[in-house]
Amino acid sequence: MRESDRCCGSAGIYNVTQPEMAGQILEHKMEHANATEAQYLLTSNPGCLLQMKLGIDKHGRGGDMKAMHIVDYLYERIARPDGEA
């Protein structure tokens, strides 16, 4: 994903203390996420996970994109080798 190293707007409690700015950052991140047409958006950060889930919901991508913690994603693949979640 382009600019995958850039913040999603969560940054600890930034999305709570500065919701307007955090929302703008999330919108920018979602532009890049949507451009990938990926089914899964993986992260290892719990705050980012919640923020990206919000972005997916706001963009109406809940049916074709899912945000997951990378450990949960790997666990599902190990637990179900066919890859079906």
Domain ranges of the chain: 14-79
Contact (Cβ atoms closer than 8 angstroms) between residue 1 and residue 38: yes
What is the pLDDT confidence band of residue 67, given thresholds at 50, 70 and 90? very high
**pLDDT at residue 31, rounded to an integer:** 96
Q: Which residues have a Cβ under 8 Å from the Cβ of 22 and sit 6 or more positions away? A: 9, 10, 11, 14, 15, 51
Q: Give tens-digit pLDDT for 7-21.
A: 999 988 888 899 999
Of 75, 82, 21, 71, the residue nearest 51 (C-alpha): 21
In the numeric block, the tokens 């945000």 are attached to 67
Q: Give tens-digit pLDDT for 36-60.
A: 999 999 999 999 999 999 999 999 9
**pLDDT at residue 81, rounded to an integer:** 63
State the pTM of this model.
0.84
